Structure 1
Amino acid sequence: MGDDDDAVGIPEWVVTFGDMMSLLLTFFIMLVSMSEIKKEEHFQALVESFRRQFGHDDSMNSVVAGTAQPRNSHLSNLATMGRAKRFSTQEGGDKVKAPVGDSPQVRIIRPGSSTAVGTVIYFPGESAKLTDEMKRDLQVQAQEFGGKPQKIEIRGHAAPKPLAPGAPFVDHYDLGYERCRAVMNFLVSLGIDPRRIRISTAGKNEPIHIGTDPLKSKQNPRVEVFLLDEVVDDLVGSGAEQSQRITNGGPTGDTKP
């Protein structure tokens, strides 16, 4: 073999082709492995990893209501909702039009509309006073509520049993209302704008459990605190007055505590 003969070797394009085939093989292996979800926790960890790598959380943070809020109240509402973070991610995420999150504590806003942005405060017996533990839970939740334009509903409940003789409440509705007032006053003391708050009471008519299990029955006397999909500015004034307000200034909102 002469010195001027071509050296024996692999063409350069073969290396690139091999890399491409390796990537394709890896891609199809991932498709097959994800076609059947057998370990939910591992799948959710993989989903969250993809979300972080592709900047999903950063893109959502860029539209979260803060010091520079959208001037249009509808856009302001959308900015605080984003895409839902639900446990059923493999089923396409949340399809409910509501400001939802990961917590399953709060069950219903209105028939057919559920949310998990909120918390539940459980009261002992016929008490309407907040304990230190309840206040700590509300302080954590107030940080989630602060700086957003949505209405906050506080819904009071009582246990489905007769009130004790000499109780300071007229009936179960009165008991639920006093519990709501205690929660509302504490949230306002933390900086939540009272214009955002709406109080409702169901009395004893919406128990979570109707059996005789004493542990489950303790979940009936409660107050549910949650965000609505209604914006404060959309509920104040006529349509013409709302348009004028949007022209002159942005939507109102409280300061995040």
Structure 2
Amino acid sequence: MAKKQVIEEIKMGAPEYMNTYGDMMTLLLCFFVILFSMSNIDAKKFEAIVVSFSGSLGVLSGGNTLTHEDVIDQGSISDKSNSEITELDNFKQLEEKIKEYLEENNLADKVKVLNEDQGLLLRFQDSILFDQGSASLKSQSNVILKYISDILKSPNFKDKFITVEGHTDNVPIKNSTYSSNWELSVARACNVVRYLIEVQGLDPTRFSAAGYSEYHPVGKNDTVENMGKNRRVDIMIMKSKNFTPTK
């Protein structure tokens, strides 16, 4: 008598338990999406976490920490952020303070104050500091420069670096002292720096001086007024993130 052959049914596709598992994963995903939507995200910390996952978590050799900076020297991300915010507030207050001083002393049309990303820019028209074709500081310029030096000695700005730039219009100059606008622009910047260092006693390592002749104008040299704007000395009080001393 022949034995009956038992043929087992073979089911195609994923096992039945995967339906329940898939439902559970979907519910968990929805749960975490809801939590995420209800939370407050610190953009800088989130960015740091994303960066850290580009390598390992820093446990094994060669891995990345949350930032690429030296952790001990830089401090936490939140500390750095607070420091930057404090500095921005200090620069804003300084801008308002100088503008108020200029208004009170009828100098607002001679000195412009611009709070830029690089730092606080004080733009002096050449007539307030120098006679035409000269790099010798006028005696009345000492008052405004002393006021600026007192600010640079204050606690919030005593560690800031300062750049001083001389600029001219495009009218050629040639006299017994200066053979071109290059020499004049450099001499003017240097004399402002020398006054702040030698007379007002500021730290020389905080300064740099440069002359740009006619080649960095703020406007076209097509009118007397515009040419007057181009003849200037720019003093920039640098924000910390934009300038560090060379060692």
Deviation at 1:177, TM superposition (A): 0.8
One-letter amino acid of the counterpart of residue 132, structure 1:
S
Larger Rg: 2
One-letter amino acid of the counterpart of residue 146, structure 1:
K
Matched, 1:125 2:119: no
Matched, 1:179 2:185: no
CA distance in 2, matches of 1:170, 1:125: 15
Secondary structure of 1:120's partner? strand
One-letter amino acid of the counterpart of residue 101, structure 1:
E
CA distance in 2, matches of 1:135, 1:72: 40
138-147 or 77-86, larger mean C-alpha shift: 77-86
Q: Is the 8 A contact 1:101 1:115 kept in 2?
A: no
Output one character per residue of 1:128-160: Cα deviation in whole Å (capped at 9) or x when no partner.
111122111111111111142011000111121
Q: Is the 8 A contact 1:151 1:231 kept in 2?
A: no
CA distance in 2, matches of 1:201, 1:217: 17
CA distance in 2, matches of 1:126, 1:229: 32
Counterpart mapping for 1:93-132 below 5 A: 101-102=95-96, 103=99, 105-107=112-114, 113-116=117-120, 118-122=122-126, 123-132=130-139
TM-score normalised according to structure 1 size: 0.48
Unaligned runs of 5+ residues in structure 1 are: 1-70, 87-98, 238-257
Give the fraction of aligned pairs with identical amino acids, expressed as a percent: 16
99-108 or 222-231, larger mean C-alpha shift: 99-108
CA distance in 1, matches of 2:160, 2:123: 16
Unaligned runs of 5+ residues in structure 2 are: 1-72, 100-110
Secondary structure of 2:219's partner? coil
Root mean square deviation of aligned Cα: 3.6
CA distance in 2, matches of 1:175, 1:209: 20
Match of 2:161 among 151, 174, 178: 151
Q: Is the 8 A contact 1:142 1:192 kept in 2?
A: yes
Q: Is the 8 A contact 1:106 1:120 kept in 2?
A: no
Which residue of 1 is the match for residue 177 of structure 2?
168
One-letter amino acid of the counterpart of residue 137, structure 1:
I
Match of 1:198 among 184, 191, 208: 208
Q: Is the 8 A contact 2:173 2:179 kept in 1?
A: no
Secondary structure of 2:172's partner? coil
Match of 2:89 among 83, 87, 94: 83
CA distance in 2, matches of 1:72, 1:178: 39
C-alpha spacing 1:154/1:216, structure 2 compared with 1 (3 Å):
same
C-alpha spacing 1:163/1:233, structure 2 compared with 1 (3 Å):
closer
Secondary structure of 1:140's partner? helix
Deviation at 1:213, TM superposition (A): 2.8
TM-score normalised according to structure 2 size: 0.50
